[in-house]
């Protein structure tokens, strides 16, 4: 509880103020920067990149456009942060060895599996949306999601993208926030789609029912998973564990 003095000054214990301030800060970092939203599996910067590219008309059938143009639109309209961090997020979504189903179709040097950071500067590379990105954008204009003002209130941006499939499972994600973290592996689109249909037909389906369709993670590196089936089941049941792989 806070108290008001005769001068109209609010007083409250230091531990109460710091507790609330830290909670507000951590929730901001969790919700607005570090962890993805479960609805579309995207962090805010990723969502803004995809949306900005769609607004630029950079569909999979369009001509490639300089990546610097996309980054400039993202920073100027929706995401007023550093250009290098924005471009790096864009690069990750274009690397077929980082994303199981890349959201960006890149042209030029976008890094290599043995050196992912060796990508060229944004003024040299070109990009457009991948075919898979349509899964997130196809129903955007049909009143399927809420819209919010951008950082200066001059434009509207989608609160989330209307994903037709659970992208958070298909591409996985990694995020480190304040006091919590997540690391979800990617999965095969056919397996996840079949499991989603089964869950719609039978909402009370058990874990074992769904594991009839989802055999396990499906990493873009094409490595062989050597973790036993029963251990994979425990990972899905508890949400904790590690997946062992070997090169083929």
Query: How many domains is the chain built from?
Result: 3
- pLDDT of the residue at 196: 96
Both 110 and 51 in one domain: the answer is yes
**Residue 102: which region, alpha, beta or left (left: phi > 0; alpha: psi -120 to 50)?**
beta
- The answer to whether the beta carbons of residues 44 and 69 sit under 8 Å apart is no
For 100-153, how does the pLDDT look when each residue is reduced to its tens digit (9 = 90+)?
999 999 999 999 999 999 999 999 999 999 999 999 999 998 999 999 999 999
- pLDDT of the residue at 3: 64
Q: Exposure of 68 by Cβ count < 10 A (0-12 exposed, 13-18 middle, 19+ buried)? A: middle
Grade residue 181 by pLDDT with cuts at 50, 70 and 90.
confident
Across the range 42-62, mean pLDDT stands at 96
- 120's CB contacts (< 8 A; 6+ apart) are 108, 109, 110
- pLDDT of the residue at 68: 97
Asked if the structure places residue 180 within a domain, the reply is no
Q: Exposure of 184 by Cβ count < 10 A (0-12 exposed, 13-18 middle, 19+ buried)? A: middle
51 is catalytic: no
E-strand spans in the chain?
A: 3-4, 10-11, 65-66, 104-107, 126-129, 147-149, 156-158, 173-176, 181-184, 224-225, 245-246
- The answer to whether the beta carbons of residues 136 and 163 sit under 8 Å apart is yes
Domain encompassing residue 98: 35-158
For 82-99, how does the pLDDT look when each residue is reduced to its tens digit (9 = 90+)?
999 999 999 999 999 999
SS3 category, 18: helix
Asked if the structure places residue 182 within a domain, the reply is no
SS3 category, 174: strand
Q: What radius of gyration, in Å, describes the C-alpha atoms of the chain?
A: 21
Both 55 and 119 in one domain: the answer is yes
Q: Does the structure show a pLDDT above 70 at 44?
A: yes
Which of 139, 158, 177 finishes a domain?
158
Catalytic member of 22, 124, 132, 236? 124
Of residues 33 and 72, more confidently modeled: 72
For 5-18, how does the pLDDT look when each residue is reduced to its tens digit (9 = 90+)?
666 777 888 988 89
- pLDDT of the residue at 217: 95
Both 61 and 139 in one domain: the answer is yes
Q: Does the structure show a pLDDT above 60 at 1?
A: no
Across the range 169-183, mean pLDDT stands at 83
Both 148 and 235 in one domain: the answer is no
Q: Does the structure show a pLDDT above 80 at 2?
A: no
Across the range 38-58, mean pLDDT stands at 95
d(CA 115, CA 163): 31
Both 43 and 150 in one domain: the answer is yes
Beta-sheet pairing, 147-149 with 173-176 = unpaired
- pLDDT of the residue at 9: 78
Among 53, 148, 33, which residue's Cα sits nearest to residue 93?
A: 53
């Amino acid at each position: 509880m806070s108290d008001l003095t005769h001068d109209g000054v609010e007083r409250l214990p230091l531990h109460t103020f710091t507790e609330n301030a830290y909670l507000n800060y951590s929730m901001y970092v969790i919700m607005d920067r570090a962890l993805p939203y479960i609805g579309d599996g995207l962090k805010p910067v990723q969502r803004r990149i995809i949306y900005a590219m769609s607004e630029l008309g950079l569909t999979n059938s369009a001509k490639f456009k300089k990546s610097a143009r996309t980054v400039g639109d993202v920073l100027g309209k929706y995401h007023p942060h550093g250009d290098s961090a924005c471009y790096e997020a864009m690069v990750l979504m274009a690397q077929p060895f980082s994303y199981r189903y890349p959201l960006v179709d890149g042209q030029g040097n976008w890094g290599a599996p043995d050196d992912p950071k060796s990508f060229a500067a944004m003024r040299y590379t070109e990009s457009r949306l991948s075919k898979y990105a349509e899964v997130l954008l196809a129903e955007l204009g049909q009143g399927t999601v809420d819209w919010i003002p951008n950082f200066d209130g001059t434009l509207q941006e989608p609160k989330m993208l209307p994903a037709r499939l659970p992208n958070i499972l298909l591409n996985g994600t990694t995020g480190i926030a304040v006091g919590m973290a997540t690391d979800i592996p990617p999965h095969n689109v056919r397996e996840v789609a079949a499991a989603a249909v089964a869950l719609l037909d039978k909402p009370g389906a058990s874990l074992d029912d769904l594991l009839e369709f989802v055999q396990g993670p499906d990493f873009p590196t094409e490595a062989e998973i050597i973790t036993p089936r029963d251990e994979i089941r425990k990972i899905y049941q508890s949400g904790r564990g590690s997946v062992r792989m070997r090169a083929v």
